[in-house]
Structure 1
Amino acid sequence: MSIDSSSDSPFWLSWCDGQSVSDPQRSLSAASPAALFGESAFETMRVDQGEVLYLEDHLDRLTTTALALGLAEEIDRSLIQSEIKNALEEIGVDRAGRLRITLMRAIDTASGLNVERCHIQRWLLYSPLLNVADEPVEICFSTVRKIPPACFDPAWKHGNYLSSLLAVREARARGFGDAILLSTEGFVTESSCANLFWIRDRELWTCSSDSVFPGLCRKRVLEVAEEMSIVVHSGHYQPEELLLADELFLSSSIRGLVAISRLEGRDYDLGFPDSLTAQLGVALKKRDQAELIRRVL
């Protein structure tokens, strides 16, 4: 499976500036700066029991990206929260889903690179999660390299995901579900759309935060590991380090923790339910449940 197989869903609901849109593909212009230049800021959030998990954290990150890209001088968080609330009420389902919010310039107020005083559209796209089972994933190393931090801050979640797209296509052509991208220096970074962890001798290892996306699930994994008194190593590592690991897993806001059963030609004994990956996953699900209770109350 792919870590982001939910994106293959044929069912989408969409809203623009709080209004339902029946056909978003016809509503997005090819002349939009988002299409021409990849200029947009977005967040993809998990919806469970009619609530967005960790919404405030996602909006913090969306604001950071939007300000860094110059999309806006400030973000009206209360307006976005209201539009998300109305959208979820319109959906009227309790099943798990993914909700993507994208900020982009409206074509009717943008003219080439002259983007002053442009209206920033707020797009919401929802699709149900077709497969929420914790199925292990088989991955490979990609020949596509991750964009260096000197070019784009890895903390920005912007519309240019071409390197990730090419990496996934390459992996699927080889029969794998996802791929790990290396830095231009040859160090391990992350998969196409998820952070990477590995376990060796019951200790947790991950890539240095200066070269990877600051995933919210990644943050919670590190917090839970500290609570469980697990030794954590962070740094720049060669690909060979992963082949010495006892366990590998990916983390993302949509899927949570997904065990890696195979890396290239190396198979991993998943060892459930005694694996450290499984124990961390249970602890994270408890946190998610506490977050749902907090939002409902």
Structure 2
Amino acid sequence: MVHGTHNALNDSRNATIKISINGKLFNREDAKISVFDSGYLVGDGVWEALRLHDGILVFLDDHFNRLWQAAATIGMQLPFSKSELEISVHKVLEANNMTTDVHVRIMVTRGIKKTPSQDPRLTISGPNVVIIPEHKKASKESKEKGITLFTSTIRRGSPDYLDPKLNCHSKLHEVQALVQAIEAGADEALMLDVNGFVSTCNATNFFMIRDNEVWTSTGQYCMNGITRAKVIEVCKQNNIVCHQKNFSLYDVYGADEAFVTGTFGGLTPVTKIDGRVIGKGNYGEITRHLSALYEQLIHSEIEKQK
């Protein structure tokens, strides 16, 4: 069984979900897109992932702001507004009778190409928009167990050639890092920045705890994680010292606790890195406390939206 931060409880309803492609609904087995799509051909697209809790798309503004920023970064004009996209997402959710514990993936590619090429001028359609909603609830057992990391030789890139903050379809370097980790017997990969400092993981952001203080990277070379930002926010709100700083594996191996953050899993404890046990090798008290504060923030957001 695959173990990692995206472990979800099995849900048979996902076999019959309806998926939106450019506003039209398709059954899962019929949801297809052209081989001339720019995302398929050259990874030319951006994406976003949302969580639906109690009928509310949590932190929607943050996610949409990130999507629009990503589109602007790659020079792609979105032919719809944020409110129009929100309506589209809710239509898909309603068609699937979904109300809570749902993960929504939005993928926007530049469109259909005239011929296989990276040249955006050879795009002959508007952007393709795919919305995939799934019933996905994180496995509590997996969270209690925690995950193990392996430090990959694949580095997080510099902002001047592929900014790590960009949620783009070009994920091959992250896949390479994860492959290394899996082959080393770990669940996921820890990635360093171009200067050798700890940056992020292949699909999540990394935090460690030393002497009751929370450490995470500067943010210069890591993913623009919304959950990461929310954890930093709850630390400030609750007078928990949180440093955004450069630190190395030297610091990590002596940490008291470590965890990773992501939209789906929230906070997931890290028990081992490169074969070294972190702290007591379990779901630490401070990580649990931060996870509870993050859940409270989600509930506050739900109440505010309602």
The letter of the residue matching 1:104 is: T
Question: Which residue number in structure 1 is paired with residue 298 of structure 2?
Answer: 288
RMSD between aligned alpha carbons? 2.4
Matched residues in 2 for 1:188 and 1:5: separation? 24
Question: Which residue number in structure 2 is paired with residue 2 of structure 1?
Answer: 4
Secondary structure at 2:240's aligned position in 1? coil
* Superposition deviation, residue 126 in structure 1: 1.7
TM-score (normalizing by structure 1): 0.90
Matched residues in 1 for 2:271 and 2:124: separation? 50
Question: Which residue number in structure 1 is paired with residue 240 of structure 2?
Answer: 230
Structure 1 residues 88-125: Cα deviation after superposition (integer angstroms, max 9, x where no partner): 11121344121110111331678842157741122101
Matched residues in 2 for 1:7 and 1:70: separation? 38
Question: Which residue number in structure 2 is paired with residue 59 of structure 1?
Answer: 64
Kept in 2: contact 1:43–1:102 (CA 8 A):
yes
Q: Which moved more, 1:282-291 or 1:262-271?
A: 262-271
The 1:191–1:8 alpha-carbon spacing in structure 2 relative to 1, beyond 3 Å, is farther
Query: Sequence identity, in percent?
Result: 22
Structure 1 residues 55-79: Cα deviation after superposition (integer angstroms, max 9, x where no partner): 1110000000001111116651121
Secondary structure at 1:42's aligned position in 2? strand
Matched residues in 2 for 1:28 and 1:199: separation? 44
The letter of the residue matching 1:224 is: V
Question: Which residue number in structure 2 is paired with residue 79 of structure 1?
Answer: 84
Matched residues in 2 for 1:226 and 1:182: separation? 26
Runs of 5+ in structure 1 lacking a partner? none
The reply to whether residue 125 of structure 1 matches residue 132 of structure 2 is yes
The reply to whether residue 140 of structure 1 matches residue 145 of structure 2 is no
Secondary structure at 1:36's aligned position in 2? helix
Q: Which moved more, 1:18-27 or 1:37-46?
A: 18-27
The letter of the residue matching 1:150 is: D
Secondary structure at 1:250's aligned position in 2? strand
Matched residues in 1 for 2:152 and 2:240: separation? 30
The reply to whether residue 216 of structure 1 matches residue 218 of structure 2 is no
- Matches for 1:175-254 after TM superposition, within 5 Å: 175-254=185-264
TM-score (normalizing by structure 2): 0.88
Matched residues in 1 for 2:103 and 2:174: separation? 19
Kept in 2: contact 1:63–1:74 (CA 8 A):
no
Which residue, 242, 248, 270 being the options, matches 1:260?
270
The letter of the residue matching 1:3 is: T
Kept in 2: contact 1:50–1:88 (CA 8 A):
no
Runs of 5+ in structure 2 lacking a partner? none
Q: Which moved more, 1:28-37 or 1:52-61?
A: 28-37
- The total of aligned residue pairs comes to 295
Secondary structure at 2:261's aligned position in 1? strand
Question: Which residue number in structure 2 is paired with residue 154 of structure 1?
Answer: 164
